[in-house]
Structure 1
Amino acid sequence: MVDIVFINPGDRKQIYQDLGADISAIEPPFLTASFAAYLRNKGFRVAIIDAQAENITPLETAQRAGTLNPLLACVIVYGNQPSASSQNMSISGRICTELKNIGIENVAIGGLHPSALPERTLREEAVDFVIEGEEQEPLFALLEFLKGSREITSVPGIWRWEEAEIVHTPRAPLAKNLDDVLPIAAWDLLPMDKYRAHNWHCFDDICHRMPYAAIYTSLGCPYSCTFCCINAPFGKPGIRYRTPEVVVEELELLHTQYGVKNIKFVDEMFVLDERHYMKIMDLIIEKKLDLNIWCYARVDTIKEETLATMKKAGVNWLALGIESANPNVRDGASKKMRVKDIERVIRQIQNADICVIGNYIFGLPDDTEETLQETLEMAIELNCEFANFYCAMAYPGSELYAMALEENWALPKEWKDYSQHGYAILPLPTKHLSAKEIIRFRDNAFHQYFENRVYLDMIESRFGLSVREHLEQITKNKLKRQILE
């Protein structure tokens, strides 16, 4: 018997279509594993079932949980990137239903989406508890309640049924000491041989995408972009840090004990506070860890003088939120940056032998057919080593979601359809374009970019013929879209 079994949900086929077989990453659930470590440090018996990595069905997941006879089963709903929680709710709901069907008495659900929509989640899903806000203190208190040492009314951040009424308690205060509530993850409870890096992350060595790990060095983001829901569990913009020493201790454990070289820093904004990220770089160099790292940055947070050290520490990829070529469409503080400023920063990064992933969004509220084309032409001109093309989606917890409800815009019928690669995706319309026009433009843009000879020649020169052929094979696989049929 265990006190709590954590479940990481996932359905690669549903979320990525045919890309899920061997192209998409399989990412370890760092937050879930860290929550498990936190509770284990408090004396509780814990277990983790990674249904996504194991690629098992909801029934198989529930049956495996049942063999552990848990006091509490808890499904934690996050994703491979900050906006990927809602798309995992469909499979999460099915897992919760199977958990109740086999007789598990106490089922909880937490994560970004449940925190953004706690009442709706409680009404829609077969769960006893929904966690709103950060999960650690509510889970600790909930286990104490289930063991009989406290009252349910003193458990913070919990939504539940009391007879026929929904009741809830206030969120737990945000943790001040991340080293305490986000300790080194319980990697020993995860199937470490199952995780796989993104294909582009390993362009330098495409045949060795495993083993792989992803960790947070901070939580939250100080910015308030309309399309982003990252701060839903925290209630407000802001950022808190783990200490660099703990972060690098974890990296060293992953490297020495599990042979992990491929590392993702999941932080929404890793390259922000120079004192934090450069201390991590210095410690990695000091410990002589051989790592292949990628992380997120903003164009306006890059400092040219730090790039050589970052490269020396193993940062080989930086993902930049470029969004749009048009400054009137672009969201956030980077709106003031001109295209030539963006290009200058990208060339600085590339001159330091660090590759760039350009992230672009089609369908922001002010987008027109002309601004979409402007963004695509900019992407082709910048010719980054990789690019992600997204449609603007109204993710629960974002400002766009609130706007969509207020304006009565059509939203996806099922949570799985929030996936950018999903069959039934339904992006937001703009003031000038329909959802159908946006998804058609996005999918065509993907093929124009990755089938562009100038891009493929650059890739072959940089990484070799095998990577070029790998990309050419990917572009033969065209996503099926319900809205375009």
Structure 2
Amino acid sequence: MLDIVFVNPGDRKVVFQDLGKDLTAIEPPYLTLSFATYLQNKGFNVKIIDANALNITPEETAKIVKELNPRLVALIVYGNQPSASTQNMSIAGKIAKTIKETINLPIVMGGLHPSALPKRTLEEESVDFVIQGEEQIPLEQLLIALQEETSFETVESLWYYDNEVIKNSTKGKLINNLDDYMPIANWDLLPMDKYRAHNWHCFDDIDNRSPYAAIYTSLGCPYKCEFCCINAPFGKSTIRYRSPEIIVEELELLNKKYGIKNIKFIDEMFVLHEEHYMKIVDLIIERKLDLNIWCYARVDTVKEHTLKRMKQAGINWLALGIESANPDVRDGARKKMRVKDIEQRVRLIQEAGIRVIGNYIFGLPDDTLESMQETLDMAKELNCEFANMYCAMAYPGSSLYELALKRGWELPEVWHGYSQHAYVMQPLPSKYLSAKEVVKFRDNAFHEYFENPKYLNMLEEKFGKKVREHMEEITKTKLKRKILEK
């Protein structure tokens, strides 16, 4: 008998509107794959249905589940970025409901959002169990309990019903040895021909965004940015590492067996501890892997003496959390950096031949129209090779979410309203601006940045006319926003 079927939910049309058709990345669900591999190595029979990559409906997903008839269905809810779990809850809920209506199998839900709101998730969704925390050990224990028909009390980190009463077991300790619990993944479990990199990731070769893979080298982050929710499954701000040796062995597998060059390191903060990330860099160079990598860094963790070798290893893009130009706004979000430091680090990175994605947030608690304009002006002056422009969002699991509840701020009516690109997106107001004003500024800022001749000329100079035309085509699409229609 098949023990467990993992389902990776996704609804690109709803989450990204028309941008989801050709422009957004289709990312392999690495954590789901890792959990499945761990259980497979323990002797369980596993399958994965990547409904997002296959672009199939809840009804089609439920039909496949019925045919497979597993002992347990696991919906693991994460997203293309560390904060994107909540926006996938709408489709995850539909899939769970449809499976229950099609075949009454036990369903467990895990992921960042369920960890942040376990009781509410159990109450609202058509699931039997919710995991609050790391998933590997609870999944293993739950499968054994189902096989042996024993009590769920011994399954750690589990929320469940007992005679219609909600109960939860003791939360398990954080995993110490990630290599044991996040082994080299069995990538054959995934539809490897369905994944594609971000468009900007492949500006040097825009027609070859596939094949693509994304992996974690660490879990968590030691920082406490108020808008971030990624530590919700861990219960505290912390970071733990897989060994560089196992990571590079997995990269070599992806590169040589699957022909994958485009790689994302999903870690919220890859460029942090030099001993870890530079060991990975050195091993990649030693094994002569041909890779095109992007990863996250903080402005204040980038070190000049590491950049040349990072570039040599194929790290071609660094995503920097710049957030705001205004020091009062930025420090309110617990990021203490000076604008001149930001500019200096961006130029150092670019001089090493590495491209920069600047990440900016509009509508942080202390933002005004003037401070947001400062941020846009800085973004245009920095003129990074790409930019992500976000509205401040109160993601469940973040301190901003708790603040929003305390102050009675309006939150999205549906979970996909947490998507930055959705029609029903509902960001936070700042102390001085309405949510509508923030959305309007962000959407206008996107077009002002990407339609700027200075930016387009830089693109053409670095990547060629085809990439410039590609970006000019993108900006013809204007997102529809319900909040702007009010």
Q: TM-score scaled to structure 1, two decimals? A: 0.99
More moved, 146-155 vs 403-412: 146-155
Amino acid at match of 2:230: I
User: How many angstroms does 1:271 deviate by?
Assistant: 0.1
User: How many angstroms does 1:163 deviate by?
Assistant: 1.4
Amino acid at match of 1:71: R
User: What's the counterpart of residue 118 of structure 1?
Assistant: 118
Unaligned regions of 5+ residues in structure 1, if any? none
Q: 1-side partners of 2:166 and 2:446: how far apart? A: 45
Q: Is the 8 A contact 2:219 2:241 kept in 1?
A: yes
User: How many angstroms does 1:172 deviate by?
Assistant: 1.3
The alpha-carbon distance between structure 1 residues 332 and 438, as it changes in their structure 2 partners (threshold 3 A), is closer
Q: 1-side partners of 2:285 and 2:70: how far apart? A: 43
Q: 1:280-291, aligned counterparts within 5 Å?
A: 280-291=280-291
Amino acid at match of 2:238: G
Amino acid at match of 1:120: R
Q: Is the 8 A contact 1:226 1:331 kept in 2?
A: no
Q: 1:53-92, aligned counterparts within 5 Å?
A: 53-92=53-92
Q: 2-side partners of 1:104 and 1:199: how far apart? A: 41
User: How many angstroms does 1:328 deviate by?
Assistant: 0.6
Amino acid at match of 1:183: P
Q: Does 1:105 align with 2:105?
A: yes
Q: Deviations over 1:261-289 (max 9, x none)?
A: 00000000000000000000000001000
The alpha-carbon distance between structure 1 residues 169 and 188, as it changes in their structure 2 partners (threshold 3 A), is same
Q: Deviations over 1:223-247 (max 9, x none)?
A: 0100000000000000000000000
Q: 2-side partners of 1:332 and 1:365: how far apart? A: 8
Q: 2-side partners of 1:57 and 1:331: how far apart? A: 43
User: How many angstroms does 1:151 deviate by?
Assistant: 3.0
Q: 2-side partners of 1:334 and 1:88: how far apart? A: 27
Q: 1-side partners of 2:299 and 2:145: how far apart? A: 47
User: What's the counterpart of residue 397 of structure 2?
Assistant: 397
User: What's the counterpart of residue 371 of structure 1?
Assistant: 371
User: What's the counterpart of residue 186 of structure 1?
Assistant: 186
User: How many angstroms does 1:332 deviate by?
Assistant: 7.5
User: What's the counterpart of residue 259 of structure 1?
Assistant: 259
Q: 1-side partners of 2:391 and 2:421: how far apart? A: 10
User: What's the counterpart of residue 417 of structure 1?
Assistant: 417
Partner SS, residue 225 of structure 2: coil
Q: 2-side partners of 1:386 and 1:186: how far apart? A: 33
Amino acid at match of 1:3: D
Partner SS, residue 336 of structure 1: coil
Q: 2-side partners of 1:91 and 1:195: how far apart? A: 19
User: What's the counterpart of residue 453 of structure 2?
Assistant: 453
Q: Is the 8 A contact 2:226 2:334 kept in 1?
A: no
Q: Is the 8 A contact 2:195 2:211 kept in 1?
A: yes
Q: 1-side partners of 2:94 and 2:116: how far apart? A: 19
User: How many angstroms does 1:150 deviate by?
Assistant: 4.7
Q: Does 1:358 align with 2:351?
A: no
Q: 1:169-180, aligned counterparts within 5 Å?
A: 169-180=169-180
Q: 1:41-52, aligned counterparts within 5 Å?
A: 41-52=41-52
User: What's the counterpart of residue 22 of structure 1?
Assistant: 22
Q: Is the 8 A contact 2:226 2:333 kept in 1?
A: no
Q: Deviations over 1:159-216 (max 9, x none)?
A: 1111121001021110000001111122111000000000000000000000000000
Q: Is the 8 A contact 2:225 2:334 kept in 1?
A: no
Q: 1-side partners of 2:273 and 2:89: how far apart? A: 33
User: What's the counterpart of residue 438 of structure 1?
Assistant: 438
The alpha-carbon distance between structure 1 residues 332 and 409, as it changes in their structure 2 partners (threshold 3 A), is closer
Partner SS, residue 335 of structure 1: coil
Amino acid at match of 2:401: Y
User: How many angstroms does 1:65 deviate by?
Assistant: 1.2
Amino acid at match of 2:185: A
More moved, 466-475 vs 142-151: 142-151
Q: 2-side partners of 1:98 and 1:333: how far apart? A: 40
Partner SS, residue 253 of structure 2: helix
User: What's the counterpart of residue 139 of structure 1?
Assistant: 139
Q: 1-side partners of 2:45 and 2:346: how far apart? A: 48
Q: Is the 8 A contact 1:362 1:392 kept in 2?
A: yes
The alpha-carbon distance between structure 1 residues 130 and 334, as it changes in their structure 2 partners (threshold 3 A), is closer
Q: Does 1:12 align with 2:1?
A: no
More moved, 37-46 vs 163-172: 163-172
User: How many angstroms does 1:333 deviate by?
Assistant: 8.7
Q: 1-side partners of 2:348 and 2:354: how far apart? A: 9
Partner SS, residue 196 of structure 2: coil
The alpha-carbon distance between structure 1 residues 334 and 118, as it changes in their structure 2 partners (threshold 3 A), is closer
* Count of residues paired in the alignment: 485
More moved, 200-209 vs 97-106: 97-106
Amino acid at match of 1:294: W
Q: Deviations over 1:442-478 (max 9, x none)?
A: 0000000000000100000000000000000000000
User: How many angstroms does 1:334 deviate by?
Assistant: 7.0
Q: 1-side partners of 2:169 and 2:215: how far apart? A: 30
Q: 2-side partners of 1:477 and 1:55: how far apart? A: 22
User: How many angstroms does 1:335 deviate by?
Assistant: 3.5
The alpha-carbon distance between structure 1 residues 124 and 4, as it changes in their structure 2 partners (threshold 3 A), is same
Instruction: State the percentage of identical aligned residues.
Output: 68
Q: TM-score scaled to structure 2, two decimals? A: 0.99
Q: Does 1:167 align with 2:167?
A: yes
Q: 1-side partners of 2:421 and 2:329: how far apart? A: 23
User: How many angstroms does 1:149 deviate by?
Assistant: 6.8
Partner SS, residue 130 of structure 2: strand
User: How many angstroms does 1:346 deviate by?
Assistant: 0.3
User: How many angstroms does 1:105 deviate by?
Assistant: 2.0
Q: Deviations over 1:100-145 (max 9, x none)?
A: 1112321110000000000000000000000100000000000000
Q: Is the 8 A contact 1:224 1:332 kept in 2?
A: no
Q: Deviations over 1:47-88 (max 9, x none)?
A: 000000000000100111111110000000000001100000
User: How many angstroms does 1:98 deviate by?
Assistant: 1.1
